[in-house]
């Protein structure tokens, strides 16, 4: 009769049931069997870490807020280099920040040019400045932009001047013909210039007064002077007989 012998607590019969090379094979088969099951769970339950769908639309903070501008030109008159300044405030956006842009369009053109920009907090006062470009009249516009929403306002007209020398004429010449047509009288508001086309509008600034007049005559013919103001224009400006004025040409 065969009597099994024990080797380190395992009988020779038990050892014969599990070959020594079978353990790695058993482990590999276990992995292969488990893998499709894990894949099937991923497919049915959705990707790991995916958020739950509640059916509600997420609310984006401040998405419904629309900026509202209130602003003004501090002084619409500027001698080139002195600059103009815009002061204002943006509301309707809480305390969040918004971009503001200052743009200008020179008279006689169609293109708006951005000249200053910044970021401001809702409800806080701000100021933007522009040192001025070529002499002339400019429309001034301010815009506040937050995401896809914005507000803008045309603040009015600003003048960029240059300094120029002028004199005046009239007494002793009333009733005489003007180079651009008509006759000179004490009530004629206009200016004489050597080369500007007849009818050209020129804006003059002297002190706190600003007056726009047309070129109606030729002159002056004295060295160092660029303009000859009529007596009526001289009175409107409060100008003396000769001196420096600010002009847009």
Cα–Cα distance measured from residue 184 to residue 90, given in angstroms and rounded to the nearest whole number: 52
What is the C-alpha to C-alpha distance for residues 215 and 212, in angstroms, rounded to an integer? Answer: 10
As a CATH number, domain 68-160 is 2.60.40.3930
- CATH code that applies to domain 163-247: 2.40.40.10
* Better-scored residue on pLDDT, 83 or 249: 249
Across residues 131-152, what is the average pLDDT? 85
Indicate where the chain has its CATH 2.40.40.10 domain(s): 163-247
| Better pLDDT: 172 or 25 | 172
Is pLDDT of 219 > 90? Answer: yes
Q: Where in the chain is the domain with CATH 2.60.40.3930?
A: 68-160
Residue 8: is its pLDDT beyond 60?
no
Q: What pLDDT is attached to residue 20?
A: 54
pLDDT tens per residue across span 170-215:
999 999 999 999 999 999 999 999 999 999 999 999 988 999 999 9
Q: Specify the DSSP element, H or E, that contains 44.
A: helix 22-45
Section 24-31 average pLDDT: 50
Separation in Å, CA 56 to CA 52, 53, 59, 227, 236:
11, 8, 9, 72, 68
């Amino acid at each position: 009769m065969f009597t099994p012998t024990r080797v380190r607590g395992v009988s020779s019969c038990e050892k014969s049931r599990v070959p020594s090379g079978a353990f790695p094979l058993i482990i590999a088969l276990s992995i292969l069997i488990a893998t499709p099951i894990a894949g099937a769970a991923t497919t049915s339950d959705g990707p790991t870490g995916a958020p739950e769908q509640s059916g509600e639309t997420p609310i984006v903070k401040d998405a419904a807020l629309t900026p509202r501008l209130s602003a003004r030109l501090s002084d619409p008159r500027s001698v080139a280099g002195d600059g103009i300044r815009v002061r204002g405030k943006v509301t309707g956006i809480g305390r969040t920040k918004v971009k503001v842009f200052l743009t200008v369009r020179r008279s006689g053109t169609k293109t708006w040019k951005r000249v200053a920009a910044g970021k401001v907090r809702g409800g806080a006062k701000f100021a933007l400045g522009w040192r001025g470009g070529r002499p002339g009249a400019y429309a001034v516009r301010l815009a506040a932009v937050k995401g896809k929403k914005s507000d803008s306002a045309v603040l009015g007209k600003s003048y960029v001047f240059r300094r120029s020398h002028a004199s005046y004429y009239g007494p002793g010449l009333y009733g005489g013909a003007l180079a651009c047509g008509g006759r000179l009288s004490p009530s004629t508001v206009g200016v004489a210039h050597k080369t500007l086309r007849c009818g050209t509008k020129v804006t003059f600034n002297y002190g706190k007064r600003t007056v726009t007049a047309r070129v109606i005559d030729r002159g002056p013919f004295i060295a160092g002077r660029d303009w000859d103001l009529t007596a009526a224009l001289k009175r409107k400006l409060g100008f003396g007989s000769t001196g420096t004025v600010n002009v847009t040409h």
